[in-house]
Chains A and B, each alone.
Chain A
Amino acid sequence: MILATSCDDWLDTTPKAQVNSDKLFSTETGFEDALYGVYTSLTSKNTYGMNMTYGFMDVLAQYYKMDNSHILYEASLYNYDNSKVKDVIESMWLTSYNTIANCDLLLENLEKKDDSFFKENYKEILTAEALAVRAYVHFDLLRAFAPAWRNNPDVLCLPYADSYSKKIHKQKTTKEFINLVIQDLMKAKELLDKIDMVFSDDFKNVNNIFYYHYQSDIGKEFTSYRSYRLNYYAINALLARVYNYMGDKEKAYKYAKYIINLQKDGFYAFTTESELSAELKERDIVMQNELLFALNYPGVHDDWYKNDVVNSTAFIINGIDDIYKISDDFRKTYLTMKNSKDKTISIKYADIDSEKGGKVPMIRLSEMYFIAAESIFETNKKEAIDYLSILRLNRGVNSEISETISYEDFVKELTIEARREFIGEGQMFYWYKRLSLPIDRASDKIDLSDAQFCLPLPDTEVEFGSRSEKYLENLK
C-alpha cells in the first residue's frame, strides 16, 4: 500500500517550464497566479485586448471609417460569412471560453481546498472574482451571439460552461443562461459582502484607488490591487448591466443607484477637466477614477500603435463632428487626436506614454448613470433627466432636456450620449441591439435586422457541439 502510494508519487512528474495544475494549486501563490492568468487572458487581442472592445465590436458599432483594405472591412458590412470575419468571430468565441475554462479549473480547485489552506478571506475573494469573471465573459458572449432579450428569451442559444471538462456543455435558453450569470454574480457578491477591503476608507481617495497598497505588508499585493478587478462594487455594477439587459428596470435601477450613491461616500468620481486637459503624459486618457472594472494591459499601446501605422488596420473615427456636436465636449477635445497620418483617432489606447493609460475599461461609472436614467424614467422622469444632465455637465456639455420628453426621445438622447461616452469600449453595438435602434454611422443610420444583430456561432461549435441555430432561423 505504502509502496503503491510512493510509486504513484514517483510517477507524478511535473513539467518545469510549465507547471501542472496539481503543483500550481499546491500553494496560495499558485491560486493568485491562476487568477492573474484569468485577467491576463482577458487582455488577449481576440477579446478585450482589442476585438471585444475597440476592435471588432466597435467596427460593428460603426465608429470607424473603414478603408476597404482594412482587415475588418467586411465586418463593417456585417458580412459574417466572410472567412476573415469568421476567423475573428471564432477566435473571440474560443478565447472567451478559454478564459472561462481557466476560471472553471480555478474554481474547481478552490472548492477542493480547505478554508484553512488560505489566509483570511482569500478563498472568498478568489472564488468571488473567478465567478464574476466567468459571469462577465459569458454575459458578453450572450450579448454578442444570442438574439436580444426582447426577441425570445426562451430559445436555445449558448452553452454556459460552468465546469472544466471535456464533456460538451449544454446549450441554454437566454433565460436559463442569464439566470446562471445572475446566480454566479449573486454568489460572488455574497462572498464579498462585508469582507471586501474596498469598503475600507483607504480605497476612498480616488488617487489611492490604484496606488493603494500596504507597503509595510509585503505579501498583500494581491488583495491591495483589487480596485480595478471584479470587486464588490464592480459586481454590483455588472448586476445593474445584466438587469438592464433583461429589462428588469427595478433591479437595474437598484444596483446602478447603489454605485451612484457610493460617490457620496467618497468612492469614484467623475474625471475633472484639469485631469483631462493635463499634458499627454499625465492626462487621464481612460478617465480612470470612473472605472469600476478595467483590465491592466500596458501592451494595449503597442497593439494600438501597430494598428495605427498602416491604413489596413488603423481605427479612424468616422464623423467625429457627428458624434460630438459640441466642440467643447471634453471627450472630443481631450480624448481624441490626429494621428501621424492626420486622421482622427481616440486616445484611450494611443501610444502617447500617458502614465494613466494601459487600462482597458470594462465597466465605468457613466454607464450606471445611463442605466439609472433609463430605468427610472417611467417612474421619476425628473430624476432620470438629472442623471443625464449630471453626466453631461461633467463632460463639458450643456443639457437642456424638456420635462415633457417622451421615453423614446429620451432614449435617443441617452444613445447620443452613450455613443460619445463608449468610444473604443465595445459597448455600443450591444446598446443598439438591446434597444433595437438603427446604428449611427457618421450622420447616417443603418437599420440592422434582428438576425444581423446576432453573430453566428463558429462552424466548429455547431458541428462538434451539435448546436441548434433555430433562433437564427426564427429571426429571419
Chain B
Amino acid sequence: MGNYLEFIRILKRKNSRITKTMKLITLFLLLGMLQVSAEVNAQKGKLDVKVKDVALSELLWQLQENSKIVFIYKTDDLKDIRKVSINLKNTTISRIMSIALVGTNLTYSIENNVVVIKKKTDAQQTQQERHLITGKIIDKSKRPLPGVTVRVKGTIIGTSTNMDGEYKIKVPENSILVFSMVGMKTVEELTKDKKVIDVLLEEDVAKLDDVVVNGYFSRSKDNFTGNAVIIDREDLKKVSSNNLITALQIFDPSFRIKENVDMGSNPNNLPDFRIRGNSGFGSEALSESNLKNNPNLPTFILDGYEVRVEKIFDLDMDRIKSVTILKDASATAIYGSRAANGIVVITTKTPKEGEIRVSYNARFSVEAPDLSDYNLLNAEEKLQVEKDAGLYEDDDLPTKQKSLKDYNNRLRNIRKGVNTYWLSKPLRVPCGQTHSLYLEGGDKSARYGVDASYNLSPGIMKKSSRNRFALGFLLSYNLNDKLLFKNKLTINKVKSKDSPYGDFSDYAKANPYNPIYNDHGDIIKIFRTNVPTSLRFPNPLYEASLNNRSGSEYTEWTDNFNFDWFINNNFRFKASLSYSEKNTTKETFTDPKSARYNNSKYEGDGLLKKGRAYKYDEKSSNLDLNVVFSYKKSFGKHFINTVIGTNIIESNYSNESYSVIGFPSGNLDYISYANEFENKAPDGDEGKSRLAGAFLNVNYSMNNLYLLDLSIRMDGSSKFGSKKRYAPFWSMGVSWNLHNEQFVKEIEFINRLKISANLGELGKASFSPYEAQNVYEFYKNQSYTSGLGACLMALGNEDLKWEKTRTTDINFEIEFLKGLFALKASYYLKKTNDLLSDITLPLSNGFRTYKDNMGSLENKGYELNLRGFVFRNENVILSLFGTLAHNKNTIKKIANSLQSYNDKVDYDQNNNDVERVNGQIVTSKPKIQFKEGQSTTAIYAVKSLGINPINGKEVFVDRNGNITYDWNALDKIVCGDTEPDFSGALGLNADYKGFNLNMSFMYKFGGQVYNQTLVDRVENANLNWNVDHRVYKGRWRNPGDRTFFKDIKDNTRTEVSTRFVEDENVLQFQSLSFSYTFPKNIIKKLSLERLKLTFLMEDVFRFSSVKRERGLSYPFARTFNFGVQIQF
C-alpha cells in the first residue's frame, strides 16, 4: 500500500480569497478566458466550494489547503480525468467528492479526515454504466412531446425524445436529468434508483421571447446570432389600442416613425417610418402611393408572408400573438433582396385545444383634440394688431374710407360679441369602438378558430373616419403528430372617409372677428370687404355644409395554407401557399356649389363644368409560395440545424381612374349625372413583379456554447435588368453563450451573458417594376395614317441591379440576478451601396435621365436596452425599462442628378423673386439637399448673427466668414439635423394582485428643427389672416432694441437662416394604461375563465423645447380607451 500511495503536502498561499474572487469575475467579464482557480471554505466540518474547470488534483489541493482534510491518491489515476466545476455551499466532503467523481472511473472512501481516492473495480464500473432510464414526456394536454432534450446535468451525456415523446438514456448513478425544450419550462429530476421517469413539461409562457420567429422557421434565442426584438401581445396592448406601428417605437429605439407635423392624428394617414435610419433618398412628401416604393420601409411578414404596410396598419391588435423585429444581417439574410431595411415578423394567434372557448374584447375610445401647440389671437387682439400694422390706412382717401368701414364693421362684430374660435369648429370629441370575438376549440387532431372584429375609428375632424371589419377562419388538422394541415382564410374590409371640413390650416388662419352665420342664421359663404382686394376670405365651414366628400374603401381576402410534415426527429418539411386579392376604390365628389367655382371661368358655358367626381379602382393580388425543408440533429455536443428553402412571389396591380365634371346639384352626385369627362382618356397603371429565391441556413452549436450561423440566399427578381437578374445575399454570424460556460455559471448573479457578431450583405429593390426595361407606350390620342405609334418612355437599363447593404453588427446581452436586471447593447454599421438614382444624361442620348445604381449611404449607431425589477415579491412586481438609440447617417456618394438638384435648389433660392399672393409674401422654407459627407436629414441655412440692434436688419455670415446683410444661397451651411442624437423610450410596469399599471414615455434629444411657425405666422405673418400671439412681441422697433425678430416695418421675405433653427428635445408621455384582472375565485362564480378591465390613454402629454404649430392639416389628439376582456 505504501508504494501505491503518495502523500501530498500542503503549501500555504499568500493571496487573499477576496482579491482572487474579484480577479476571477473581472476576467470572466473582460476576457472570457478560462480561469483555473478555486475557493474553498471550511466551517464546522462543512465546506464551501467554488471551482470552475479545474483539474481534479487542483481541487483536491485547494480543499486540502482550506481544511484539515488530507487526500491520498495515485497521481496517474487523476491524470486523464476531466476538469471539474463545482459550486456548493455549506456542504459535506462526501457530497463534494461524489459530484467531483461523477462519470469518472474513480471512487473514494473517507476515514476521519483522510480521503482515499482509487480506481473503481470492474464490477463497480459496469454496474454504474448499466443504469438505464426510460420515460415519456408529455405536455399539459397529455400529448407526447417529440424533440425534448434530455441531458445528464454536468455531463455531455444526452439524447432527445422520439415522435412518441419517449426516450432512453444510460446514466451514472445519482445524476440529475434535465429535460428541456424550446417554449417549455425546463424540468430537473434526480435519478436515484428510478428506472422510469415520466415528465410533464409545461408551456413556458413567460419564455416565449426565448424563441426567435423569422417567418420561415424559429430558433431558440440561445442559438441565434442575430439581433431581434421580440414583443408579445400583452406588452403591445399596454402601449397602444389599435396602432401596432406606433407601439413598436416603445420597444425598439431604432424603429422610428417620421414625425408628420401636417397630418397629426388623421386616422387615414399611413405613417412613414424606418429602422436604423434612412437607407435611401426618399422624397419628402410621401403620399400613399409613394409608400409602395418607399426606399426606407422595412418588410412586413404576417404569418410567414410578405404584406403591405397598409395591412399591418389595419390589423386588429387582438389577433396578434407576437411581433419580432429583425434588424441585422444574421436575422434577415434569408429574406435576401428584401432584407436591407429590416424585417418585422408578425404572428397571429392559433387556436388552443379544448372545448369551445370564447374570448370577447371590447374597447371604447374617446379622442380629444390637442391644440396646445396653437397660440392664436382672439378677435379683439387681432383687430388691434391689424390697426397697429396700418392695414386700415391708405394714402388714397376713398380707399381709406372704405377700409375704415371694414374696420368699423369688424369692431361692431366684436362689440356684438363675435369672437369665433375657428379652431374648434371642424373638431369633435369622437367615440370609437372595437369589438373582437374569438372562438377556438377542437381536439388533438382537428382544431378551429374563428375571429371577427369590428373597429370604428372616427377622427377628431368631423366626419373623418376609418372603419375596419375583419373575419378569419382557421382550421387545422393534425394526423398522428406526423402531418399538420392548416388553412386560414381572412377577409378584411376597410372604409375610410376624409373630413369634408377640409384642411385644418384654413381654420387656423380664419379671422376671429368674423361670424359663421349672418343675422338671418344662414351660413356665410364669403366674408366680403369694402376695400377692393383680390384676396378672398371664404368661410371654411361653408364647404363643409355642402355635399363634398372624399373617401376610399378596400376589401381584401387572403387564404393561407400550410402543410407541415414531421418526417422524423431530424427532418421536417413545410410548405405554405398564400394568395390574396385586394380591391380598392377611391371616390371624391366636389359639390357644384363649392366656392371654388366662384370664378368667371364657370359662367356661361362654364356652368356645365361645375361639380366634379373622381373615381379610382385598383385591383391587386399577391401569390406567395414557400417550401422549407429542415434538418436538425445533435451529435454528442454538436448540434446542427439546417434549413433549406425556396420561395416564389408574384404580385400584380392594375388600376383605372377617371373624372367627370358638370353636376346639376350636390345631391345628384351619382356619376351618371355628370355632363362630360374631364379628360379625354381615362388613366390607368399596371404593374407586375416576380421574385424567386432559394436559401440555405446552417446553424451549428457546440455544447450550446459556441454558435455559428450561416445564411445564403439567391434571389431572382423581375425588377432587375435582364443582365443582372439574380443576386446573392449572405450573412455570417458567431456567438458565444458565455452563460453556459462553467466559469460564468459559477458567478451566481449572472444568468445570461452572450456576445454575438455578424456581418452580411442584404438587398432591396424598392423601385417600380419596369425601371430596367425599355418601355414603349402607345400614343393615346393620335394615330399615324394606318397605325398607332409606339414611343419609348424611358431609357431602360438592363444592368440595373438591387441596392446592396453591407451590415456589421455586434451584440452583447447580459442578465443579472435571475432577470432582475438585463442589458442588451448593439453596435451596427450599415452601408448601402448601389443606391438607385437618376443619372442625368446629355440630352443627345434622347432622355434626360436614366436609372442606375449610384450613390451610397452609411448608417452607424448603437442601441441600448435596459430592463430591471425595482421591487419584486409575491404580490408586487415593479419593473422599469429604458431604451436608447443613436444613429448617424452619412451620404457617401451621390449621383450627378442629385448634384444638379442641389445646384438647382441654390439657383432657385437665389433667383426666386419675392412672390406675393395678394400682396402677401409667400414665405421661404428650407429645402432638402443631398451633399456628400452630410446626412440625408441635414438642415441647410445661411448662418445668421441675429438682428442688428442698430437698424433691425438680419446679419449673415457669408462663406468667406465676412459679415453681410445680403442673403445668398451659396452661403448656406449645414446647421442642424432633424434626426435626433438620441432617441428612445422609458417605461414603468407595476403589478399588484391583478392590477397592472403601465406607463411609457418616448424621448429624443440632440436634433434640430426649422421653426417654420416663427417665419410663417410671426415674422412673415400674413396679417390678413389670424396669426400667432408672438407676432407683435419681440420685433425690432427702435435703434438699440435687442430682438429676435427683424424690424416691424420690414415686410421683405425672410430667407432661410440659422436664426430659426432650434434644438429639439422632446419628452412624450406616450401611453398610460391601467388594468385589473379579476381573480379566479370570483370569475369562476360567473362561469368565466378570464375577466379583465383596462384603461389606456395615448399621447398623454408632450414637452418640446420648440414652440411651433403642429397638426397643420389635421390636428393631434389624445386618446382615452376603456376596454373589457372576457373569456369563457
Query: A: which residues have CB within 8 A of B?
Result: 7-8, 10-22, 24, 29-30, 32-41, 43, 90, 93-94, 97-102, 104-105, 158-159, 161, 164-166, 168-169, 213, 221-222, 224-225, 228, 296-297, 299, 458, 460-461, 463-465, 467
Contacts and interface: CB of A to CB of B under 8 A. Distances in A.
Given A16-B654, A20-B776, A32 B787 contact: yes
A159 B769 contact: no
B776 A24 contact: yes
B795 A34 contact: no
A324 B823 CA distance: 94
A221 B787 contact: yes
A169 B689 CA distance: 33
A462 to B, nearest CB: 8
B782 A40 contact: yes
Contact of A101 (B773, B777, B787, B792): B792
Given A11-B692, A13-B690, A36 B790 contact: yes
Contacts of A101: 792, 795, 845-847
A101 B684 CA distance: 26
The 9 closest A-B pairs by CB, nearest first: A101-B846, A465-B842, A40-B789, A37-B789, A221-B786, A36-B789, A21-B774, A36-B784, A13-B718
B287 to A, nearest CB: 20
Interface string B362-403: 000000000000000000000000000000000000000000
B522 interface: no
Nearest to B793: A18
A391 to B, nearest CB: 29
Nearest to A94: B843
B716 interface: yes
A29 B850 CA distance: 28
Contacts of B852: 166
B784 A161 contact: no
Interface residues of B, number: 53
Contacts of A159: 842, 844
B834 to A, nearest CB: 16
A299 B684 contact: no
Contacts of A169: 842, 844-845
Nearest to A460: B843
A461 B787 contact: no
Contact of A15 (B770, B839, B844): B770
A13 B688 contact: yes
Interface string B831-870: 0000000011111111110101000000000000000000
Interface string B551-573: 00000000000000000000000
B791 interface: yes
B785 interface: yes
A2 to B, nearest CB: 15
Contacts of B722: 12
B784 A296 contact: yes
Nearest to B792: A102
Contacts of B684: 17
Nearest to B769: A13
Contacts of A14: 688, 773
B896 interface: yes
A233 B445 CA distance: 84
B293 to A, nearest CB: 15
A132 to B, nearest CB: 16
Contacts, number: 185
B967 to A, nearest CB: 22
Contacts of B785: 36, 221, 225, 228, 296
Contact of B776 (A10, A18, A463): A18
A169 to B, nearest CB: 5
B797 interface: yes
Contacts of A36: 783-790
B284 interface: no
B842 A461 contact: yes
Given A13-B689, A19-B776, A460-B843, 7 more contacts: A8-B725, A17-B684, A19-B778, A24-B790, A34-B789, A159-B844, A464-B896
A40 B791 contact: yes
Interface in B762-806: 769-770, 773-779, 781-793, 795-797
13 contacts: A7-B716, A8-B716, A11-B716, A11-B718, A16-B686, A19-B790, A33-B788, A37-B789, A41-B791, A43-B782, A97-B846, A161-B845, A296-B784
B792 A15 contact: no
Interface string B617-629: 0000000000000
Contact of A97 (B789, B844, B900): B844
A11 B773 CA distance: 13
A12 B686 contact: no
B1094 to A, nearest CB: 48
Contacts of A12: 718, 722
B1079 interface: no
Contacts of B80: none
Contacts of A100: 846
Nearest to A296: B785
B932 to A, nearest CB: 18
Contacts of B686: 15-17
A45 to B, nearest CB: 12
A168 B779 CA distance: 28
A161 B795 CA distance: 14
Contacts of B789: 33-41
A20 B842 contact: no
A225 to B, nearest CB: 4
Contact of B778 (A33, A166, A222, A224): A33
A93 B776 CA distance: 21
Interface string B345-365: 000000000000000000000
Given A10-B690, A10-B692, A11-B725, A90 B843 contact: yes
A36 B785 CA distance: 8
B687 interface: yes
A41 B778 CA distance: 11
A304 B935 CA distance: 50
A210 B844 CA distance: 34
Contact of A165 (B725, B843, B845): B845
B775 A15 contact: yes
Contact of A18 (B777, B783, B795): B777
A73 to B, nearest CB: 20
Contacts of A30: 790
Contact of A161 (B778, B793, B844): B844
A21 B773 contact: yes
B699 interface: no
B773 A20 contact: yes
A24 B789 CA distance: 11
B717 interface: yes
A461 B782 contact: no
A465 B844 contact: yes
Nearest to B774: A21
Given A94-B843, A97-B845, A221-B787, A40 B775 contact: no
A105 B792 contact: yes
B685 interface: yes
A154 to B, nearest CB: 20
B12 to A, nearest CB: 76
A18 B775 contact: yes
A15 B769 CA distance: 8
Nearest to A12: B718
B776 A166 contact: no
A423 to B, nearest CB: 25
Interface string B671-694: 000000000000011111110100
A326 B688 CA distance: 65
A403 to B, nearest CB: 46
B285 to A, nearest CB: 25
A127 to B, nearest CB: 17
Interface string B792-832: 11011100000000000000000000000000000000000
A24 B686 CA distance: 17
A397 B1077 CA distance: 107
Contacts of B775: 15, 18-21
